[in-house]
Amino acid sequence: MFKLSFFTGGIAQTNGWVIETSDGVLAVDAPEGFADWLAKRSIKLAALYLTHQHFDHVMDAAKIQREHECPVLAFADYSRKLTLEALFGAVTGTGLSVEPYQVDKTLESDATVQLVGTEWQLLHVPGHSPDSLCLYSAHQALLFGGDALFAGSVGRTDFPGGSQRQLLAGIASKLLVLPDEVRVFPGHGPETSIGDERQGNPYLQDIG
Give the chain's mean pLDDT. 95
Range in 8-17, 62-71, 93-102, 113-122 the model is least confident about: 93-102
Q: For residue 95, which phi and psi values (nearest 5 degrees)? A: 65, 35
> pTM score > 0.85 for this model?
yes
| pLDDT score recorded for residue 11 | 92
| pLDDT score recorded for residue 182 | 98
| pLDDT score recorded for residue 206 | 79
Angle at 154 between CA 74 and CA 63, to 5 degrees: 35
- In the chain, how many domains are there? 1
Q: Give 90-145 pLDDT, tens digit per residue.
A: 555 566 889 999 999 999 998 999 999 999 999 999 999 999 999 999 999 999 99
The domain that contains 198 carries what CATH number?
3.60.15.10
75 lies in which domain range?
2-95+103-203
Tell me, yes or no, whether 208 lies in a domain.
no
Q: pLDDT above 90 covers what percent of the chain?
A: 89
Mean pLDDT across the stretch 155-173? 95
Amino acid at 108: E
